[in-house]
Every structure is written in C-alpha cells, then in structure tokens.
Amino acid sequence: MKKYVLFCLLCLLFVFPQIAKSQLSPPRRGLFISVIQDPPVLSNRNAIEKLIDFSKKANVHTLFVQIYRANKAWFPSKVGDSTPYESSLKSVGEDPFALLIKEAHASGLEVHAWLNLLSLSGNKNAPLLKKYGKGILTRNVKRKWRLKSYKIDNQYFLEPGDLRVREELSTMVEEILRTYPHLDGIQFDYIRYPDKHPFYGYTKMNMERFKKASGLKKIEEESKVWKDWKRDQVTDFLKLLVQKTRAIRPDIQISTTGLMPYSRAYHEGYQDWKLWLESGAVNFITLMCYKPEPSDLEKYILDAKIQTAEHFKNVNIAVPAYQLVKAHEKFDQQFELCEKAESRGCVVFHYGSLLEDPALTSPLIGSEAASMAMVLNKKGGKL
C-alpha cells in the first residue's frame, strides 16, 4: 500500500508541472493582415515595424499577409496588376514583403502569403478580364447583358473549371514562391464557387468539358453528376496549385480557407475541405464564417470537431474582429471560445480592425495594455 501511495505521489509530481507548463504556453495564434486597411501595412517601413512589435506582445505565431487580391499584386507579377507593389516599393525603398519576412523571422514569427484566388472583388479592370474577357467569369443561366450582370454578392468570380484561369493563377503562385524563397507558408483563399444562390458553373468551357467527360448532352442543375463535377473542379484546381507549390518548395506549409459549417462549404461553395485535410493535400485549413454571436461560433467549432475528428488539430478557427468593432465583449467571448477549442490555433480577422479599435486587443495583450494602446493610438504612437 505504501509503495502504491508513493507511486501516485511521484506521478502527481510529474503530471502537475506538465499541466502548469501547458497552461503557461498560449495556443498558437495567427493574425490576418489585409490590404484593405488604410494605409496597407506594406506601404511603409514604420507600419511593418509596428505590426511586428504588436505581434510579439500579443503572442502571435503566424502572420497571414495578403499580397494578392482582386487580381492586384503586392509583389512583382506579370499575372496580376503589380501597381500596388511598385508604389510600395517606392515608398519603402525595398521589397516591402521581403522586408516583412526578414523582420518577422528575426522576431520568431512565421509569415504565410494570403491569396484571394477566384474572386476579382469588384475590379472590372482586372488584367485577367482584359486578357480573356467575360468568358472566364463563372455564371448562372440567366442572360447577361453587360459585365455588371456577372456580379455575385458584389464580386466577380472566376470559373474554377476554366483551364486558362488555372494556368494563370498557378503561374502567379510560382511567381511568389520564386520571389520569396524564405516564405513559411502559402494560404489559398476564395478557392470555391460563390455560395450565394449556388447555381453557377455555366461557362462555355466548363459546360463543354463536363459534357465531354460525362457523356451527357444536357445539364440539369439538381443532377448529382453535375454537382460532383463542380466540386471536382475546385479540388482539381487545388491539386494543381499544390503540385506546383511542392515542386518548387517541398517544405513550405500549404493551407486553404474554408467555409463553415461543412455542409455549406460542400453543398453551396462546392469546397470539400474535409477531403483536403484527410487526403493530406493541405497542412491545415483556416475556417472563416463570420457572425457576431458567440453562440454561432460555438456551433461552428462543434461542427468542425465532428467533421474532422482527429484532424481537428490541423484546423484554425478565424475570429471576426472586423465585425465586432465596438462590441468588445462579444469579441472577447469568441476569442475565448476559440482558444479553448483545442484546435490548431486562433486567427484574428483582421489587424486593421485592431488598429481601428485597440480595445479589441484586450484578450491578446491584457486589459491594461489594451487601455494603454488606446491612448497611444489616439496620439499616433505604437500599438
């Protein structure tokens, strides 16, 4: 009996320090840095330094830096409009993204390139549109009189089943990988069909390819064959990007964003992120579906756990700071739910919202530091 008690005491002495250690180590945290904030971080050296300084204070591990959006590039590119890069290069005096990577690595931070792939946002002057015309935009069967009628949820979406789109965007990914050899990861966002009234895919090339592959002469919207085809187009596009990426950088981390819940991603966005995780096509995914109520996030996290099972450790959960400006308590609750979920990590969307309302930084850096940040922000100092 004495030996048993002694054994238990020894076990407790070993276990308690391990528990304490795990509690002291914060979960992996990420931060989206979007080009839509004004001014963009990549536009000046001081903004880059400020970002790194904040990330260290907030125990952020990974920076997801947007360098491609709406067919505009914040890097030297022949596929996208590189005017934003050229402007930032002139302002900073050197490649701003390369500088950010160097400064981040010096502080122990990872940098992942965040790319909005199949959305052109509202950019009617996108180089890809000028090169190929409206035929590369996914569409429903309604008659289109002008470019504006192709808009879905106020965005122009590229057709994932269009081989020209795939070739151009995979070439663009190659541009990034060869320009920034020290990049830690690459995240493919908007790799899906539009999920608003999801009756798309009726481009000339996509329909011709479907009919040839299926042997069918007519397309029926509710046909399982047609729906599976559209889902396969998204997955095949991802496979092409992964193959291209691995050929150049076998060691780099590859991720995608994903809609929540999974049923919405699968049936409306035709995005099978569960398959992508299970097959090992990607290292991890970041689930993005933003609603202000913490109860909704709680449901989405539970759904993700059920869908991914043992792969949940490869799932990031994004928390919508942008939607909760001036709603600090809800942001605090969502962030707490995320950190307790035991996923891969929590990613805040996005840094610009934290600058806009420093009170949101409380769960990341503490309430006292957040109060000081508010004062400094008003005075134009560092966050």
Q: What does pTM read for this prediction?
A: 0.90
* 284, containing H or E segment: strand 284-287
pLDDT of residue 8: 45
To 10 degrees, the CA torsion angle through 210, 215, 219, 224? Answer: -80
pLDDT of residue 195: 87
pLDDT tens sequence across 164-222? 999 999 999 999 999 999 999 999 999 999 988 889 999 999 999 999 999 999 999 99
Letter for the amino acid at 70?
Answer: A
Pick the CATH number of 27-379 from 3.30.70.20, 3.20.20.80, 1.20.140.90, 3.40.50.2000: 3.20.20.80
Which residue ranges of the chain lie beneath pLDDT 70?
A: 1-27, 367-383
To 10 degrees, the CA torsion angle through 127, 129, 133, 137? Answer: 150
pLDDT of residue 13: 43
State the chain's maximal CA–CA distance in angstroms: 87
pLDDT of residue 380: 58
pLDDT of residue 382: 58
Domain regions of the chain by residue span: 27-379
pLDDT of residue 184: 98
- The two structure tokens encoding residue 183: 């990049």
pLDDT of residue 20: 41
Asked if 116 contacts 68 with a C-beta cutoff of 8 angstroms, the reply is: yes
- The two structure tokens encoding residue 91: 């302002």
pLDDT of residue 369: 54
First to last CA, the chain: 59
User: Number of C-alpha atoms within 13 angstroms, CB side, residue 260?
Assistant: 25
Letter for the amino acid at 47?
Answer: A
